[in-house]
Structures are given as structure tokens and as C-alpha cells.
Chain A
């Protein structure tokens, strides 16, 4: 099973560097960051935090775009081009296919993140004359774990929804919603009457809290790194959600007609 999954993952990774999405987004991120970093504010040479904030924002946007769009087109493309039939005719089960696609998209996202974070470290190192290695590694790791959940979620969406475009749009709305208000849903629930309050509280407990993985504030304001035990727990939390999404995707895909 693992061999099949790794073989499928390899194809997804090759697809990433054949397509232009990553190159375009990376060049755009680099150009915008360098452009912003070159602005002179009151002849102060050592202002760094706004560049870090902007660069990290672009990295988050770019990585989400790459992860969501790459994952959303995997299974629909196989079905559309009818390559899914010869693929499943080989000793590859539907479970292998789901896991292989997940692994490929997740590792591809990881490769993308490595490039982005190395660029970020170089830029901030040049401005601050110091690289916070532990904090940057944590930021990268947590970001990658978060993308694991996202890839799992979008993979499930690619089986449930009819087209990659609708899947991508809905996924982006859900992901942004969780990132922006996920942390505060309990406060909103407290101010509401029953049964809305209970419903919202249930949503709060059920959703994957992607905002845990956003360490941008710690990085931007040089607030040190998060406790390592918390990073460990968050990693397990992400893996559980990623596995859950894959399991539901597999259950749905098992009963689905391919044509």
C-alpha cells in the first residue's frame, strides 16, 4: 500500500514543478516583498517588522492557493481524462489513491513552504542581522501541519463537489472563516440565545482550529517561540484531522461511481 501511495505522491510532486503556479507565486511574493522592503520611511534603515508581516502574509496566501488548487484538481482531473480507470485497474485500491494524492499534495506543499521560508529567513536576516532559527522552524512546521488538514479537507471536497472550481471556492471560504473567526466563536456563542448558542459551540468544538498554526504574530513581534510540547500536541491534532478527512473521503469515494 505504501509503495503505491508513494508512487502516486511522486506524480503529484512532479506535477507541481511542471506547472507554473508555484514559480509565479514565488516570484510575485519575492518582488512585492523586495519592493516594500526598499521603501524609505523617515531615513530609518532598520525597520523590519512590517516587511516580515507583509512577507508572511504573502507566504500564507501563496501556500494556501497552491495547496487548495493543486489538491482540488487531482481526482477530478483523473476522472475527466479517464486515467483513473487504468490506475485502478492496477493493484491500486481507492484507499491507496486517496492516501497517495494526499501525500503528494502535502509533500508538494511542504517543498513550496521550504522555499518560501528560506526566502523569508534570508530577507529578515538581512534586515535584522539575526535569524530566529527555532521560531522560524516552528512557524514552518506548524504551517505545514495546517496545510495537511487543508489538503485532507480539499481532497474530501473534490469527491463531494462536482467541479474543482466550486470545491476550491468553498474550501477557501471555510479556511478563511476558520482562520479569521475560529478562535472567537465561543465568545460569540456566549452572547447568543439558545439553541443558537449550543449550535455555535458545537461548531466551535468540531471545526479544525487552523488558527493554532498561525504563528505569524510571534515571528513579527519577535515574541520568541511557542512551547515545544504545544507544537507536539498541535501536530497530533492536525494529523488526527487530516486522517479523519481522508477516511471520510475514502468512505465516500468507495461508493462513488467513477463515470
Chain B
């Protein structure tokens, strides 16, 4: 009992400053080890560049689809089925359908006329998801939300762009986001420079994307009137497509038709008849409009024959 100190002040205790110093030294030593480990760690997100990628990791891809769909909702001016209205999910958004349809139309004026005259609901295969009101509450509630189908007016398509940009930030691997945004930028908003820049951002992340290369080619051909650059880009797109096909990745056949179709048309316009016939022959193999293509080939052959 004599050894037990009687006052607390007599207890031997290390100085708080020394403890603090020890803790700081330990933290510093640990950080040198942990920093190196973190850099080599597979889950390290700091190299992703984007703040969203750092904060959300791969979970951000879940939201990317939501924002892509949001752009489609805007395209339809808010008239859009909810999960309760649409039992079957559509594979393609309607703004994408608009894109591919215009790809087929060589004549822009025709497309505009078509836009104005036709019933878009039927054109896009969109069922009018709102049936007759089921009851009085349903009928009354329809006064307070959008119940008629319309698309964004000319020039107003810019309203979709923020959602497409956010979707691309969240899921940079989703190629459609770049091609759809590029289509609206170059064809309806007269912003080929911005479209090209956005596509190039997409190409950096998706270097094997034949879709992005094809869109880049369209900008060169249609907006910059630069057939040589367009040809180079489309040929590269074709190469990428064939590479993926030979690797068994099942690339989109419709895109293949577009690439060779546009290449054929370009060669035809440039007077390279042999090349054009070559592309159209390849197109004939895969296209559902075989008779039309055969006719086009025949015309080319006749025109190229010496008088």
C-alpha cells in the first residue's frame, strides 16, 4: 500500500505533446505505406478523371440509363409512359429511332416534310399508352399532366442536351449517347463543331466504336463537305466493324449497312464507280432492299460503260 500514490498528480504520465508527436509520426509512417498501396489497388478511382466516377464508382452507370431516357422524355415534351404504363420496355429510345430514320433519308427536305405531316405515334410504333380513363379520379387527374403526344419543335431539341451530357458523364462506355447527341447537334442545331468534339470525347473512351467513327464521317461529309476525311473515317469504321465480327462480338448489322451504303454513295459521287459497285454488292448481301440496290448497281454499270 505504501507504493500506491496518494495524489493523482504523482502518477507518472507521458507528456501530451510527446503523445501527439508519436501519433503524428505513426500517421506519417502509415501514410507512406498506404499511399503506395492505394495507387496500386484495383479499386482506386482517383485516376478516372471525372469527379462523378470518383464519387460514385461503377454505380453511376445505373443512373446513366435514367438520364438517357430523360432526354427521350424531353424529346416527347413530357408525354412518356411510366413503368406502370409500359409493360414491355422498348429496346431503342425514340430519339434514336429518329436518328436512324434520318440516316436512311438522303434528302433532308423530305424528312422535314415527313416530320410535319405524319402521325409520330404511328411512325415510331408508339402505342398511345393512355387508354380511356378507368374511373373518375383517373379522368380528373389527366387535367394536370401532359396527355397529348408531341415532339420538341425545331431548335428546341437543345433541351435534351444536358441529359445526354450527364448520361455520357455517368456511363462513358454507352456509345449511343454520343451518336444521338451528335445527330441533334449537327443536323438540327447547326453545331457540327460541338458534335465533333463530343464524338471525339466518346472515341477516346471507346476507341473501337465504329458507330462514333461513322458519325464523325457524317460530320465531315455533310457539314464540312470533306469527302476525303469522311472516306477515311468510314473505312476505319468498316475495319473496326469487321474486326469485331471476326472476333465473334456480333456487331450491329444495321450499322454495317449504313457504313457500306454511305461509302458506296460517296464513291459514286466521287466518280469511283468500281469501288462504289464493290460496296453496293456487299450491301446487297445484307440489305432487305436487294432489288433497289441491284437496280442501282445496274445503273452504275451502264453509266460506266464506254459509249
Contacts and interface: CB of A to CB of B under 8 A. Distances in A.
A221 interface: yes
A213 B144 contact: yes
A226 B147 CA distance: 11
A230 B140 contact: yes
Given A50-B159, A221-B74, 8 more contacts: A47-B158, A49-B74, A50-B163, A187-B85, A188-B84, A217-B145, A218-B144, A223-B77
B250 interface: no
Nearest to B87: A191
Interface of B: 74, 77-78, 82, 84-85, 134-135, 137-138, 140-141, 143-146, 158-159, 161-163, 165, 181, 185, 189, 191, 194, 198
Q: Which 6 A-B pairs have the closest CB atoms?
A: A230-B143, A184-B84, A221-B78, A42-B194, A50-B162, A49-B159
B165 A41 contact: yes
A194 to B, nearest CB: 17
22 contacts: A41-B162, A41-B165, A42-B158, A42-B161, A42-B181, A42-B185, A44-B161, A142-B144, A183-B141, A184-B85, A186-B135, A187-B85, A204-B137, A209-B137, A209-B141, A211-B141, A213-B144, A220-B78, A221-B77, A223-B78, A223-B146, A230-B140
Given A204-B137, A230-B143, A230-B144, A187 B84 contact: yes
A226 B143 contact: yes
B141 A212 contact: yes
Contacts of B141: 183, 209, 211-212
Instruction: Tell me what chain B mostly uses at the interface: helix, strand, loop, or mixed.
Output: helix
A227 B143 CA distance: 7
Contacts of A43: 191, 194
A218 B191 contact: no
Contacts of A173: none
Interface in A97-112: none
B144 A215 contact: yes
A121 interface: no
Contacts of A233: 140
Given A42-B194, A50-B163, A204-B137, A214 B144 contact: yes
Nearest to B158: A44
A57 to B, nearest CB: 12
A228 B78 CA distance: 21
Which of B138, B144, B159 has the most A CB atoms < 10 Å from its CB?
A: B144
A190 B102 CA distance: 40
Contact of A218 (B82, B145, B165): B145
Contacts of A181: 84
Interface string A122-166: 000000000000000000001000000000000000000000000
Contacts of A215: 144
Which of A42, A217, A227, A234 has most chain B Cβ within 10 Å? A42
Nearest to A188: B84
Interface in A167-212: 181, 183-184, 186-188, 190, 204-205, 209, 211-212
A184 B82 contact: yes
B50 to A, nearest CB: 14
A3 interface: no
Nearest to A221: B78
Contacts of A44: 158, 161, 189, 191
A46 interface: yes
A209 B78 CA distance: 21
B20 to A, nearest CB: 36
Contacts of B135: 186
B35 to A, nearest CB: 32
A46 B77 contact: no
A25 interface: no
B2 to A, nearest CB: 56
Nearest to A215: B144
Contact of B198 (A39, A42, A188): A42
Nearest to B195: A42
B78 A217 contact: yes
Contacts of A187: 84-85, 134
A239 interface: no
B130 to A, nearest CB: 11
A42 B140 CA distance: 40
A215 B138 CA distance: 16
A215 B161 CA distance: 23
Contact of B146 (A42, A188, A217): A217
